[in-house]
Amino acid sequence: MIYSEKVMDHFQNPRNVGTIKDADGIGKVGNPVCGDVMAFYIKVKDNRLADVKFQTFGCGAAIAVSSMVSEMAMGNTIEEALKITNKSVAKELGGLPKNKLHCSNLGADALHKAIEDYKERKKSAKEDITKKSGESDKFNCPYCEGPLEGLEDFCKKCQIELEKCPECGKPIKKDEEKCPHCGATKVRA
């Protein structure tokens, strides 16, 4: 089996090996047929891959592919990194033997999974922030169903003084003993 000089260089001197403790995204893939397993860790700053690390258990081609993918991705925008394909990795390495092309699939796939993980985490964090900051905007008065806007402590429609339930944070009538939303009983001092 003949490997290019670039493949041998990346196998013998792999770049960006390791993990990122507080990674923004992690992608793991494996091929049960050949036993290769790859994990990519990314750190994103200003929509660019500021750091890319990998861990690979597998053959020399798998290690070389992981190293090359990490170099190709480093510093690129998320969109540019998503354009890295198995063909572009194999081409950048100067080719791979036909029976080792699956390794280039794993490298690109692991990177793409790390980016998908980053996007999912970012989306979840944004939803949490939106939910926490705008939660009270979505409530109606529990007594007249009139809309409550902002952090009002008074329902304009039914003229009731309101406060937040200490359990669920939704509006309840001031001095109400039981929350109509979550059923929590208010403990009086």
* 15 and 108 together in one domain: yes
* 128 and 94 together in one domain: yes
Overall domain count for the chain: 2
- Asked whether the predicted pLDDT for residue 130 surpasses 60, the reply is no
Distance from the Cα of residue 73 to its chain's centroid: 17
* Mean pLDDT of the residues in the chain: 84
Per-residue confidence (pLDDT) for residue 149, from 0 to 100: 65
Handedness of CA 21, 118, 48, 64 (dihedral sign): positive
* 98 and 49 together in one domain: yes
Instruction: Find the catalytic residue in 34, 59, 158, 168.
Output: 34
Domain hosting 12: range is 5-132
Instruction: Find the catalytic residue in 103, 155, 165, 179.
Output: 103
Spatial CA neighbour of 47 closest among 122, 112, 106:
122
Contact 176, 186 (CB under 8 A): yes
Residue 165 bears catalytic tag = no
* 110 and 144 together in one domain: no
Residue 144 bears catalytic tag = no
* 114 and 171 together in one domain: no
Q: Please tell me what DSSP assigns to residue 15.
A: S
Of 132, 148, 175, the one marking the end of a domain is 132
Q: pLDDT tens for residues 60-76?
A: 889 999 999 999 999 99
* 148 and 110 together in one domain: no
* 181 and 151 together in one domain: yes
Q: pLDDT tens for residues 72-93?
A: 999 999 999 999 998 899 899 9
* 116 and 172 together in one domain: no
Of 132, 149, 168, the one marking the end of a domain is 132
Strands of the 154-155 sheet, one edge to the other: 154-155, 160-164, 171-173
Query: What is the mean pLDDT of the segment spanning 154-178?
Result: 79
What is the pLDDT confidence band of residue 124, given thresholds at 50, 70 and 90? confident
Per-residue confidence (pLDDT) for residue 155, from 0 to 100: 79
Per-residue confidence (pLDDT) for residue 189, from 0 to 100: 42
Report the CATH number that the domain containing residue 35 is assigned in CATH: 3.90.1010.10
* 114 and 39 together in one domain: yes
Contacts of residue 141, Cβ cutoff 8 Å, sequence gap at least 6: 147, 148, 155, 157, 158, 160, 162, 171
* 153 and 184 together in one domain: yes
* 182 and 90 together in one domain: no
CA–CA separation, 177 and 175 (whole Å): 6
Per-residue confidence (pLDDT) for residue 95, from 0 to 100: 87
Contact 67, 54 (CB under 8 A): yes
Q: Kindly write down the DSSP assignment for every residue of 72-114, as one continuous string.
A: HHTT-BHHHHHT--HHHHHHHTT---GGGHHHHHHHHHHHHHH
Of 132, 154, 175, the one marking the end of a domain is 132
Per-residue confidence (pLDDT) for residue 136, from 0 to 100: 43
- Asked whether the predicted pLDDT for residue 28 surpasses 80, the reply is yes
* 87 and 157 together in one domain: no
